[in-house]
Amino acid sequence: MPYDIKPLSCDPRKLRGLSEKLIVSHWENNYGGAVKRLNAITSQLASLDFAAAPVFTINGLKREELIATNSMILHALYFDGLGADGELDRPLNEALMRDFGSVERWRAEFVAVGKAMGGGSGWVLLAGGIPILALDMYGHSYHMDYDTAAAKYVDAFMDNIRWTTMCHLHHQHAQ
């Protein structure tokens, strides 16, 4: 299933302190590039014979898929967050006050983290979601039982998932 490049969600001519050239270039090259890269990786994965493919090929493609997906999602969120100088709605205001003590404290922390990353790379995120299921693939999670037979560990993990708890946790946090 190919991913579409969404239209730029803000008017780059109306942003204060961010040039139209900067925003359009960022959107086309970084967001658009991530979508194109993800489509290319998805296509390669769709035609891959997983049973015959070397593990390093599968591992590399899945790692690149994760990187491209994260880039696509985070860039879309970045651009969706631009274009207004509006006030926080009441639920978000209350959540920030609850979790950070005040909106000002959250803003100070968010800004400080962003500035601390200047010259580097990464993202600063305000998040409120929870993962539904996690499979730990670090050696400590399977070496004691399976030594280096990670595939057998994955099979065992899949046979032991407690979906009712996972779905219940998700619904609790979604409300």
**The pLDDT value given to residue 104:** 92
pLDDT in tens, 62-85: 999 999 999 999 999 999 988 876
Question: For residue 100, what pLDDT band results from cuts at 50, 70 and 90?
Answer: very high
**The pLDDT value given to residue 106:** 92
Residue 40 CA from chain centroid, whole number: 19
Distance CA 28, CA 34 (A): 9
pLDDT in tens, 132-160: 677 878 787 788 888 888 888 888 878 88
Q: Would you say the pTM of this structure is higher than 0.75?
A: yes
9 contact partners, CB below 8 Å, separation of at least 6:
76, 79, 80, 82, 83
| The residue to which tokens 């032991």 are assigned | 160
**The pLDDT value given to residue 143:** 81
Q: Take residue 74 and report the two structure tokens written for it.
A: 């985070």
Distance CA 86, CA 109 (A): 20
Q: Take residue 19 and report the two structure tokens written for it.
A: 């040039």
Question: For residue 55, what pLDDT band results from cuts at 50, 70 and 90?
Answer: very high
**The pLDDT value given to residue 118:** 80
